[in-house]
Every structure is written in structure tokens, then in C-alpha cells.
Amino acid sequence: MSGVGCMNNNREGSSLSTISNTLSAVNSKPRSHSINYVSSDYESLDYDHYESELTVREEKLNGYKTVVASNVIRWLIYFSIAICTAAVGIFIDTVIEYFCNWKFQSIRNCIDVKHSTVECLIIWILFTVIPTLVGCCVVLFMEPSAAGSGIPFVISYLNGIRIPRMTAVRCLLVKVISVVCVCIAGLGGGKEGPLIHIGAMVGGSVVEAWWKGFRNGPGRKVIGPLQNDRERRDMMAAGAAAGLSAAFGSPVGGTLMSLEEGTSFWSSSLMWKVFFCAAIAFPTYNAGKNVLFSNNTNPSESVHSKSIYFFGKFNENTIYFSYSEFPIFIIFGIFGGLLGALFVNINYHLSIFRMKHIISNRKKLMESVFVAVFVAIINLTSMILLNNCQTKLEISSSNVVQMYCPAGSYNEISSFWLRTQEESIRSLFHYPIEAYSVVPLLVYCVIYFILTELTVGLNMSAGLFLPSLLIGAAWGRIASIVIHYYSPGTIGVDPGKYALLGAAAQLGGIVRATISLTVVFIEATGNVQFLLPLMITLFTAKWTGDFFTDGIYEMQIKLSGVPLLVSEPPPLTSDITTEDFMSDTVCAIPHILMVGKLVDILNTTKHNGFPVVASKVCFCRTRNIEHKCYGLLKGFILRSQLNVILEHNLYLTPLHDENYCTKLELLRKSTYTCHDTQQFQRLKVDEDERGIVIDLRPYMNSAPYIVRLVST
Amino acid sequence: MSGVGCMNNNREGSSLSTISNTLSAVNSKPRSHSINYVSSDYESLDYDHYESELTVREEKLNGYKTVVASNVIRWLIYFSIAICTAAVGIFIDTVIEYFCNWKFQSIRNCIDVKHSTVECLIIWILFTVIPTLVGCCVVLFMEPSAAGSGIPFVISYLNGIRIPRMTAVRCLLVKVISVVCVCIAGLGGGKEGPLIHIGAMVGGSVVEAWWKGFRNGPGRKVIGPLQNDRERRDMMAAGAAAGLSAAFGSPVGGTLMSLEEGTSFWSSSLMWKVFFCAAIAFPTYNAGKNVLFSNNTNPSESVHSKSIYFFGKFNENTIYFSYSEFPIFIIFGIFGGLLGALFVNINYHLSIFRMKHIISNRKKLMESVFVAVFVAIINLTSMILLNNCQTKLEISSSNVVQMYCPAGSYNEISSFWLRTQEESIRSLFHYPIEAYSVVPLLVYCVIYFILTELTVGLNMSAGLFLPSLLIGAAWGRIASIVIHYYSPGTIGVDPGKYALLGAAAQLGGIVRATISLTVVFIEATGNVQFLLPLMITLFTAKWTGDFFTDGIYEMQIKLSGVPLLVSEPPPLTSDITTEDFMSDTVCAIPHILMVGKLVDILNTTKHNGFPVVASKVCFCRTRNIEHKCYGLLKGFILRSQLNVILEHNLYLTPLHDENYCTKLELLRKSTYTCHDTQQFQRLKVDEDERGIVIDLRPYMNSAPYIVRLVST
């Protein structure tokens, strides 16, 4: 596939790729335009350096001091991204904690004190349906793009696809409200995935706040050059890492996740900044939570304590493994991979069904309410039907109901529904083997699997990190109980260890990340010793899963129609050229032309990027029309830049040292803010202006990427 | 700097970069050819896909099954790289262990049993000089390129510079012998750096072993396509990671180091392979060492036990930190950065001195012997002069001498010289505070600093990871003793913790890696809790160090003249074009020409790569000679490929499905093996063959990278 390596870098991919070095007549090979329909909805980001006469002049006139100042400010911006992401994370946690306590308290009250099942059902339904309605309505009516975990969008954005409204502040707000609602309602969605998206959104918006604050002072020259897509992508990568770092207390894992998923544009200086950001976010978040929750936490309840380890500390002296357990780790991996592939496959068909049949907002809302009611009913029903009684452990006293059980014992399955996800995962990892029996675990595992399938794909912000971990931890624990039952003498059968491996296998089977997940698990458990078992399990889960389906994020990206290119061309494609799949109408613009002509071109085509050529005449090559000769390629210019040039009459004054700054700022702003608006707009121009000649050379990018025409 | 981002990717950088899309007459701007002299010694690797009619045909005829088989074989190759690297690591360790035991036993014997200082000095000198002589001679007379840690070469290679003899098997052998000798002699050099280089060399050579084993069977079609520079670079990256993974028991850290240093050509699929390789190497190495050393290890001696943690397990319950210690961590970082910058600076001047004055092999050998004798004398002298006596601790009984001390006590500084570096670093990290006093620590720290400065730069394979760690651990321990002395009530002043932070600061100040070092430290201590202090210290050390000097590897790369491009262009260079610093004689070859003409071109120029153009006439543009017009660019061909075409008369038969395979194999082999030989060779051709016409199109790379000529 000639030059496909460059495609990812192409600015405004649709129109550039044909510009070979001569733009002369093209061969008559049949073409496959099958992917045109996807690429028309999305644009590529302008990740290349914008090099023009303007920027060269700016650099010369600003000098070295401004470069240094920009560097300092850049670090401060990264610092503020980390702080803001951590702050949003703390806010989300606080609100969830408050409402969940209220909810669980009310339910416990009506079951154990009032003994009224009907009242309880009503309360439960209210506590599920109201947040669901709120969370779904804000998404549907204010910001539909905030639905889902947002990680597929982050992946796409980091790899160069412009996702509309990705950095809008309203999207951020809606996302926060919606994720809080999902967690309060107790649906099968976590807050960790959305927190990554939120971190990325914070990263994408912070620089604008800096700009607004300092543009009138000396900061103008310094912050101005930081406002470009390249810097924004770096900051979003850092924000995403900060989000994961805060969510799981895992700075290195966050950095690696950002790297593993957004690897197209990685450099070691970027890694350094991303790590800095993740490293600041984690202690900030942790310190903030310690300050807020320190008074209402009972230090004896290790599961609820806000330790620095998200999964709770795994003690190396009590939990260990031997080499003879390796086959078990592999079996765990295979099982996790299979379950993960099943999950992805069901989710795929469910998504298709939703795309076909649940289209109107009314239906979407009804679907959410249905899921919410289903959650409340199945939770309560499972508690009534499965009346396993469990002797009260000291550690689990406050979060369970007695229901029909004798005094001093509690309804076992209630402990799952009356805890937040974090508490559940920690209890599954750390409670002794007798705390859970097989049947409730199995029921919980199956219900949660269904619940997560239903929730992922609703019009709310729900992640699937924690749900996957819970499902995996549940079946991992079941496995440990079964092994313990059939060979009670086996050493090393710790339920927590097996729950951890099950969680890793399940998450790995769904998400298919490996190295970053390994590190996240190590950082979240505080245990380096498990490196080997975790690696074996995650590797096997990934391989097994990949054998059957794509990972969940790739599947979602494909379904959403985002034209994300894979990093390597698929096999047996070396005879396909860029020409075969690019857009077949290329519009080139001469470097010197009249305003009228330019406006006509802009009004008759929908391209967002135009090659600038030396020829005097300009042609649009369209299908089935005789090919015309293009001139020599001079540079490349974006529609947004042309719009600015025409709107602000930049062409009237020649470029000099006094006005370059204003011009550059206008051009930069245009590319930078056009994310959230439709770019195409019909231009009007007075008849007497049509004759003025524009010279595009000072404004165009003079060093665009090009792909040669292979002519044998 | 127009197109500088592509420079790194340029194959045979020196001649390609001028080929703009027309190759028409060039402007008359003055040029700075100052960097020409460096680039003439080294060539860029051919990291781009080789796309030609041959490869397209190969892919089509081989089909999908061969692609799958290649993928399977590739994983097996990575597996074998990991196993081989681990095996070499185990071999090195075993030999060092054996000889060091012998050496220390003999010295203890002559001091404590025979009480003869003179005899002892002679024995010591023999034990230092003989290995030094062996280690230096093999390098000087067999393989001069094996000198040094080799990490600068690995960095250069992974970033696209062809280092001669980098993958020769002889270089690997010499490296192993030399590094063993350095460690036995007790010079200030470690085996960890060279092990990374060794891993890379193993990675670069294993595929050839596979080829030799299977080329006659069905493996020919499968392994053939894996023999290219791109795959080799991937395998070397994996091998380097495996080396670090084995050396420090740090698979994630190894992967990250490979990434942080060789990031130019990274992709997520490569990361996945590198991690796989590192993940296999670590347990293999560990299991191998356990099997070999399990019988002669006293399980009570925690410092000497072959634990899975290279630095020994840091227990979280005894060693912890509070937020109030953060200023101390920052001060540690600053001090480490300063000392690191000092180290780099001294090393720089020492290297310059060596380059100027120590040129002949005789002088180099004498220098090594001088350093060896110096080591032996200063070790013994320090023991005699600094007769600090220390009560024997149970843990340190076997590795010390009593000397002039009373019974039951030992000469304190002897414990440093009569232990291997691994044992020393573990004892500095884990012994109680009373095991070392300030003066011996200070003396050790200063002596080792000088020793390491002298050793790094000798003609032997000596790394500086462990020496840096030892220096840092020593001053870290001094700091903890001082703090303990002046405020004995301070909690958390654990000597081991401060030694660890000192080691991190010192290594970070010299090497300037951050995220990978953080992870290495976490994996090597088995303690995740120290993540924050380590990050703070390493960040500060890097920033402080960067303020004064480059990192040691960048400095060494610059001194060695390797033309490694930085990932970002330096500030204020946007008006410098590729044209300004490229080689000014470009030789283009027409795509159809006569053999005689081609031979003449190859004999009159030293370029290793040639653009193939459509024009009928070929020109060499030389300085001060009138510019001629070039034809349209068709592709790119390497001298090695042209040599093969001429030598094997490939041009005599047209390309068809029967002979493409042989031709492709010859061409591949030529590029792949030319690393170790001089490429330029004068060609001779019979007078009657000169008239035969060659068509280069099937053999040339039809999709080379190009940089446009910026013409305003």
C-alpha cells in the first residue's frame, strides 16, 4: 500500500493524497471508493507543524526568550491539567459517595426496619429511575456526543481523527453529570472510563482558559503558539493519562495506556510530559480524597479505607504463587478471553439492534428507564429468592441487610447490591474465603454480565473497566472456592489472588490492552510479585480474545464509522495505492488568483483542504471528466484559513513585521476553534472585490506531506 | 526546518534529501556543510518498507498462508531472543561469581591468615591486572567496537543509524569476555549496560540462525521476508529490553527503556513484541540462576539470596514515607542532578583527552593496566589507612576481613571491596544503620566516583548503571546517618530508603531517563509505595542535570560522531531547510541505462543510495559546477542492490514468476549483510557487456520518502 504510512499524518486526508509530484494525467485503474462515505463525516486533525512565511517570521521576531517562556508556560499548563482532572475526579467521587450512602441507607432501612418489600421496591425503583432519567436526558437533549465511556473517541482523537465537540465545555459538564447518575443508579457502568475521557477533555480545554486569562498581557506571544492541534493532542494525551492515573492510582499505567492506545504520534518528549501530568494527578486526587473522607471513615474497615492502592494492598507474605500454578493462570486467561469475546460479540449485535430500532430520543429514553427498572427489580428479586444467610463478619457489618435471615447473619447477595463498585471489588479481592458462597457469586456474575451488556450502549456515560473487573473477580473467586473444595490441601489457593487474576483475565479479554493493564494492576494492588501471573493471564486472554473478535474499543470505533487507520497495512495489500481509495475529486488552487475565483471554488466544493499549485489556471478534477494538467505543488491550505483570509480581508495588506502577528493569530484561531462548528459556509463577496488578486503563499503551509504517484 | 521530521526516515540520508519533486535548478543560497563530515562515516538504516515490483509479486504469489506462517515464526524468533539473552546473562553471572569468589577468598586468606600485606598486594594486583589485560586485549585486537557499555550504539541503532559490526557474532563474544573481565577485576564498571547491548546483538543475530537452519526447507519463503533492517531493528529493541529485564528483573522497565531511548520507530505492535520478549527473559534468567546457585546459597543471608527483586525486597511495613519528607526528596534530586552533571562533564573532558593523547593500542593497554594497578593499590591502602573497626553482624560475616581489628570485628571498608557490586548495593540498601559509618562511606563514595570516571572510556565493556547506583546509595546512606545524628527522633529516616533515593538521584542525574528508571526501581525493589518519592527525585535530578549538561549517553553519542537527529528540531531553525545541510553532490541514475554507464557512476562516487529518475541522461551535480536538469523521480536504489544486480547479472533475464524469488533473496541478502563490510568496491566489467541495457524499475524501491524543494 504505497505511502499508507503517511495517510495517518495527512492533514485533511480526503483531498491531499492525490497530489503526486507532478499532478499529471492519472492512469485508468478501476478504483474502490468504498471507504469514501466514512471519511466524509470526519476530518483529520492538523497534527503536522504549520510552516509558513508567517510562522518563520514569528519565530525570528519573537526570539529565544519567547521559546523559553513558552516552554515554561507549557509545563504550567500540564500542571493545571493534572490538578483540574484530579479535582473533577474528586468532585465525582464525593457526589457519588453522598448519594449512594443515602440510597443504601434508605433501602436498608425499609427492609430491615420497616420489613416492607413493596415500599422497598418502590424506593429502589425511584433511586434507580430518577438518576437514570437525569443522566440520560442531559445526554440526549444537551450533548448526545457525551454518551458511552468516550474511550473510543479518545483513541480516535489521539490518532488523528477530529471528533466533533470533543473539547466543548458543555460536553465535559454533561459527561460529569451523566457518569454520576449512572453510578448512583447502580447500573452496570463504571466511572473510570469516563474519567479518562474527562481528563482528555480537560486537557483539550485548559489551554484556552490560559489564553483567555493572559492574551492581553505579555502572555499573548507566549501562549499563542501553543494553540494548535499538535499541542492540543499532546495535552489531551496527558489529560487522559491523568484521568486513569487518578481513577486507579496508577501514574505509570496511565502513561502506558495513553501510549498503547494513542501511539501514532508519540515522541519521548511527549512521554515525559504525559508522565509528569499523570504523576501530579495521582497524589493530588489521593490527597483531596483523604482530606474529604478522612472524618467519616472507620479505620478498621480496611475495604472502605481510602488507601493509596485502588484494589487494596495485596500483602506479599500471605499471597504468593508457585510455578506449578502457571497452567491455572493460562486457563484463567483462556476463559477470560472467551468470556471477553462473548461480551464483545453480544455487544456488537446489541449495538446493531440499537442502531436499527432505537433511533428516536423517546425510544432511547424508554430503553434507559426499562434498564433502570430491570436493575431495581432483579436486585430485589435476587435477594428475596436467593435467601443465602451468611454469618456476619466484622468487616462487612454496615453494608448488608438481614432480611429474612436470623439475627447475627445477613442476606449474602445483598452485600453486592448495597455497596459501591469500589467497595465490591475490594471485598471480592480481600474478604476471606468463607465470606462468599458459590451460588450468590454465580448469580451475581451472570446478572452483572447482562447488566453491563445492557448499560454499555445506553445514552449515558458508562465505562466498563470496573464492571469487567467485578465479573472477572466473581468467577475468579468461584474458581478458587471450587479448587479449595475438591483439593482442600492445595496451598496458595487464596480467593483474593484468584479473584484478581479473574478480574485481569476478564478485563484483558474485553479491552485487549496488555502492558498498560499489567502495570495498572501492579500499581493498584501495590504488589510487584504478581507481575508474572498477571502477564501470563493477560497475554493469554488477549490472544484468545483476538482469535474470535476485535477488542471492544476497536469494535465500537468501527461501528461508529470513525475512519481510524491501523498502524500497519493489512497483509496482501502492497499493490493497492493511496490513489485507489482516496477521494477522486481533487481541487487545487493556484498560488496567485482572484478573490472571485477563490470564492467560487470554496462555494462549489466541500473539501476542507486544498493543494496550492503554481499554475495560473485552477481545475477541479471530477469523475468521468477529462483530466487536466495541474501545476507544480507549492503548499497546502485549509478551508478555515481561506475563510479567515476572505472574511478579514487579510489579502488587502501585504505581509510585514507589524501585521504578521494579528494575521497569524486569526489563522491559528480559525483552525483551532473550527472543531465544534460546521466548516462549510457559503461565502458572499461584493462584485467589485472579485477582481482583487490574492497571493496565498505567505499563508499556505509550505511543507505539507505528499505521496508520490507511482507510475511504472 | 522543512521536512526535518522525515530526515530520520531517510534511507541513505546523504544523497536523497535533495530530490525535490522536480529536481530542477536550485537556488544559490549559501550552505553550511559543517555536518557533512559526520554523516560520511555512518549510513542510515533502511527502515522503510522495501516496495518494488519484486516484493509485490512475492506477496501475491506467496499468499495469505505464508503471511500467517511468517507471523508464527516471528513470535518464535522473539521467544528465542529472550531465551538466548537470558542464557548469556546466566553464563556471565556464573563466571563472575566463580572467579570473584576465588579472588575474595584468596585476598581474605592472605590478609587474615597469612597477615602478609606485600603478598596480598601482589595477589590483588594480579587478580586485577590479569583480567584487565585479557578484557582489554580482546577488545583492542579482536573487536574495538565492543568497547564501552554499548548503550549509545543501541540508542543510535534503534533510531536509524547503521553502526558497523553491531550485530557481528565476534562482537558479541568479545563483549561477553570483556564484561566478565571488568567485573572480576573489580573496576568501576557494571555488567548491566553491556547486557543490554548483548541483548540487542542477540536480537540482531538470531534471525540469521533461523535462516541458516531452515532456508533449505519450507522455511525459505517464510523466514526470507523477515530478513530486513526493519525487522532486525524490532528484534534488537526486543533484545535490548530482554537484556535489561534479565539484568534488573524488570520486564516493564526494560520495555519502557527500549521505548524511551529508541522511540523514533515505535508502534503498538512492536511494543507488544518487546514486552513479550522482556516478559520471557526475566523468569528464564531467574529460574536459571535459581537452579545454578540454589545449592551454595545460605538462605539466612538475605542479601546474597537470589531473590526475584534485584535490589532485595523493600518491606512496606518497615519503610514508609510521609508528605513532609518531600523537600528532602527534592534536595536529593538536586544533589543527584548536580553530581550527575559533574560526572558527565568530567567524563567529557576525559574523553577528549583520551581522543587526543591515547591513540595507539599500546597506550590504551597501558592505560588499562594503570587503572587496574591503581584499583588494587587504592583498595588495599584504604583498608590499611582507614582502620575503622565494626562489630561483626551476622549477615555480613563471610565477606569481610578482620585485618588489624580485634576479634569479632572487621575492617569496615573491606566490606566494600570484597563484595560483588550486587552484594554491595543490596547491603547498602538493607543493612541496619549501624553497619556503616560516615567516613568509610565517604571514602568509598569518592573512590568509586573516580574509579567509575576512569573505567568508563577504557577499551573494555563496562556499564555505569551499578557504579552510579553504588555512588548514590553511599551518599544517600551518609545523608540518612547525618539526619539521624542531628535529629535522632525523626521518624522514617531509614538508611535503606535514603540509599535507594540517593541511588535513584545519582543514576537519574547521569543517565537522565525518568519513567523507565522509576519502573525499574519499583520492579527491582518490589515496592510500589515508593513510586512518588522516586518520581520526585528522578524528575528533579533530570531537570537539574539537564540545566548543566546533556545526559551521558547523548554526550557519548555526540563525541563518537554518530549523526543522531533529535526528535524535535531545535528552536529558531524554521528557516533552515534540508537543502542547507544535506550533501551537495547528488547522483541520480536514469531508470533505463547501459551497464557501462552504471559502472562508471558507481566507480566515481561514494554515495550508497541513488534516486532513480526518468530522464535519459544522468548527471552528477558537484560543487561549483553548473546545475543540470534532473528527470522525474521514479524511485530509489541502494548501492548494495546495484552491486548485486551487476555481480549476478540479474539484468540479463526479465522478471518472471520463476526467477523473482532468487533475485529478491539476493537483493535482500545484500542489504542485510552489508553492515559489516565496506560497501564501496570498484567494479569491473567486460567491454562487451558495457553495451547491455539495464532496466532498474523492477528492483528499485518505488515509494521512497521525499522532501519537497521549498521554492517561494
Do the Cβ atoms of B38 and B236 come closer than 8 Å? no
C-alpha cell at B616: 535519459
Torsion sign, CA atoms B63, B67, B70, B72:
negative
Q: What's the gap in Å between the CA of B264 and the closest CA on chain A?
A: 7
Residues of A in contact with B547 (CB under 8 A): none
Question: pTM (2 decimals)?
Answer: 0.87
Asked whether residue A2 carries a pLDDT value surpassing 80, the answer given is: no
A17 pLDDT above the threshold of 90: no
Cα–chain center distance at A671: 23
Distance in angstroms (rounded) separating the CA atoms of residues A183 and B309:
40
Confidence band for B341, pLDDT divided at 50, 70 and 90: very high
pLDDT digits (tens, 9 = 90+) for B76-132: 999 999 999 999 999 999 999 999 989 998 988 888 888 888 888 999 999 999 999
Determine contact, residues B555/B349, Cβ cutoff 8 Å. Answer: no
Nearest CB to A703 within list B256, B282, B708? B708
Task: Name the pLDDT band for A583 (thresholds 50, 70, 90).
Answer: low
Are the CB atoms for A508 and A344 separated by under 8 Å?
no
- What is the rounded average pLDDT for all residues in chain B? 81
Q: Which of A119-133, A395-409, B36-50 has the lowest mean pLDDT?
A: B36-50
Determine the pLDDT at residue A492. Answer: 63
Q: Which of B310, B511, B531 is best to mutate for the A interface (most A CBs within 10 A)? A: B531
Chain-centroid distance of CA A210 in Å reads 24
**Helical (H) or strand (E) element with A410:** strand A409-411
Please report, for residues A427, A453, A547, A684, the alpha-carbon distance to residue A468 in angstroms, rounded to integers and kept in the order given. 15, 10, 20, 55
Local structure of A160: helix, strand or coil: coil
Work out the minimum CA distance from A267 to partner chain B, whole angstroms: 6
The reply to whether residue B519 touches residue A523, judged by beta carbons under 8 angstroms, is no
Contact check, Cβ <8 Å, B633/A272: no
HSE-CB of B680 using CA atoms within 13 angstroms? 11
Q: B627 or A405: which carries more pLDDT confidence? A: A405
Task: List pLDDT tens digits, range B502-535.
Answer: 999 999 999 988 888 888 998 888 887 788 889 8
Is the distance from CB of B675 to CB of B162 less than 8 angstroms?
yes
Sort out which chain B residues have CB atoms less than 8 A from A272's CB and list them: 514-515
CB B502 within 8 A of CB B332: yes
DSSP state of A41: T
List the single residue in A60, A269, A706 with the smallest CB-CB distance to B708.
A706
Q: Cell numbers 495588506 label which residue?
A: A653
- Predicted confidence (pLDDT) per residue in B660-696, tens digit: 778 888 888 776 665 444 556 677 778 888 888 888 8
Q: What is the pLDDT of residue B436?
A: 87
**pLDDT at residue B559 is higher than 60:** yes
Q: What is the mean pLDDT of residues B46-70?
A: 83
DSSP H or E stretch at residue A708: none
Rounded CA gap, B113 and B159, in Å? 55
Q: How far is B628 from chain A (nearest CA, A)?
A: 19
3-state secondary structure B473-538: HHHHHHHHHHHHHHCCCCCCCCHHHHHHHHHHHHHHHHHCCCHHHHHHHHHHHCCCCCHHHHHHHH
Mean pLDDT, residues B135-149 taken together: 89
How far apart CA A97 and CA A180 sit, in angstroms, is: 10
> How many helices (H) and strands (E) would you count in chain B?
26, 11
In angstroms, the CA B197 to CA B201 distance is: 6
Amino acid at B135: G
pLDDT(A230) > 80: yes
Q: What is the pLDDT, as a whole number, of residue A219?
A: 77
pLDDT of residue B81: 95
A708 contacts B706? CB cut-off 8 A: yes
Counting Cα atoms < 13 Å in the Cβ hemisphere of A659 gives 12
pLDDT at A584 over 70: no
pLDDT digits (tens, 9 = 90+) for B214-255: 878 777 888 888 888 888 889 999 999 999 999 998 898 999
Whether residue A6 is predicted with pLDDT greater than 90 in this model: the reply is no
Amino acid occupying residue B34: S
CB atoms within 10 A of CB A30: 5
Among A515, A543, A566, A568, most B C-beta atoms within 10 A, so best to mutate, is A515
The per-residue pLDDT of chain A, averaged, comes to: 81
> Do residues B498 and B452 touch, judged by C-beta distance below 8 A?
no
- pLDDT above 80 (res A495): yes
The yes-or-no verdict on residue B641 having pLDDT over 80 is yes
Residue B6 pLDDT greater than 60, yes or no: no
CA dist B94 and B88 (Å) reads 10
Give dist(CA A638, CA A228) in Å, integer.
Answer: 14
- Asked if B529 lies within 8 A of A526 by C-beta distance, the reply is yes
Packing angle of the helix pair B229-248, B660-673 (nearest 10 deg): 50
* Percentage above 90 pLDDT, chain B: 29
Residue from the list B21, B259, B574 with its beta carbon closest to the beta carbon of A633: B21
Higher pLDDT, B588 or B582: B588
Which comes out higher in pLDDT, residue A643 or A499?
Answer: A499
> Which pLDDT belongs to residue A14?
30
% of chain A at pLDDT higher than 90 = 28
d(CA B197, CA B165): 13
Burial status of residue B682 (CB atoms within 10 A of its CB: 0-12, 13-18, 19 or more): exposed
Distance of alpha carbon B111 from alpha carbon B413, whole angstroms: 14
pLDDT of residue A701: 87
Asked if A252 and B531 come within 8 Å (Cβ–Cβ), the reply is yes
How far apart are the CA of A329 and the nearest CA of chain B, in angstroms?
Answer: 15
CB contact under 8 A, B252 and A539: no
Q: How far apart are CA B518 and CA A252, in angstroms?
A: 9
* pLDDT tens sequence across B432-490: 888 888 999 999 999 999 999 999 888 899 989 999 999 999 999 999 999 888 877 66
Q: What is the predicted pLDDT for the residue at B583?
A: 65
The predicted complex's ipTM stands at 0.83
| A342 band by pLDDT with thresholds 50, 70 and 90 | very high
Amino acid identity, position A564: L
Within 8 A of B256 by CB-CB distance, chain A residues are: 256
pLDDT tens digits along B371-414: 999 999 999 999 888 877 877 766 555 677 777 788 778 888 88
Contact between B263 and A268 using a beta-carbon 8 Å cutoff: yes
Q: Is the pLDDT of residue A29 over 70?
A: no
Output the CA angle A279-A284-A290, nearest 5 degrees: 135
pLDDT digits (tens, 9 = 90+) for A408-443: 788 888 888 888 888 889 888 988 888 888 999 999
> What would the grid cell of residue B697 be?
524499475
The C-alpha torsion from A178 through A182 and A183 to A188, rounded to 10°, is -140
CA B604 distance to own-chain centroid: 36
CA distance B459 to B148: 7
Query: Would the pLDDT of A574 be above 70?
Result: yes
Please give the pLDDT value at position A297. 44
